[in-house]
Amino acid sequence: CGGGGQSTAELAAAPVLRVEGRVAPMGEAAPVAASVKAREATASPEPARITLGALQSLKEAAVQAGTGPRLVGEARAVSAAATPAQTQRLLRWEGTATGGQVAALSVSAKNALGLRLGVQVNALPEQAVLRVYSQARPATVYQILGKDVLRHVLRNIQAEGDTSDARTWWAPEMGSDEATLEIELPMGVPVQAVDIALPSVS
């Protein structure tokens, strides 16, 4: 940014603040960051599919009028997966090569420039792996552990109270009018431990 009109002498006399790097103490677990990575496209399970039509909204009219704030995204209800029971019925669990189970759910919205899934989390095993990708590019995957999603939800609940909004984890946007959520459970973790819904997208 600009110097704010200060002279060179004034800038030279200003104190310089030093920021030290942080080193984790011995024994402290490093946070597991979510990541975007490549994988074999053939590893993707066949998802249950939800198709939403083109969005009919007042957003375009508001843009044409040139008034009010610009909207980046617009919420849409996903009635087919609005409750945990509906979502569980949609998920078709398959066995994995490592003895676990995996299922996927795909949502597409006609003419959307991008799509984010709003996953309402009531219960999720810490060992679960959640992956988000588009069917057009299934080898480019955003991956996050269940424990990190739970940590995000807990922070929301502590800040906002225990509401459905606080329990919602918004998946990243993958640059497509379709997004797939994949859930993989390790061996010995029952599918009944997954209590989620997908009531909305943006």
Mean of pLDDT over the chain? 82
For the entire predicted model, the pTM comes to 0.75
Q: Which of 27-41, 71-85, 141-155 has the lowest mean pLDDT?
A: 27-41
The two tokens of residue 151 are: 């940590």
Residue 198: pLDDT band with limits 50, 70, 90: very high
Instruction: Between 202 and 18, name the one with better pLDDT.
Output: 202
pLDDT single digits (tens) 64-82 = 556 666 666 788 999 999 9
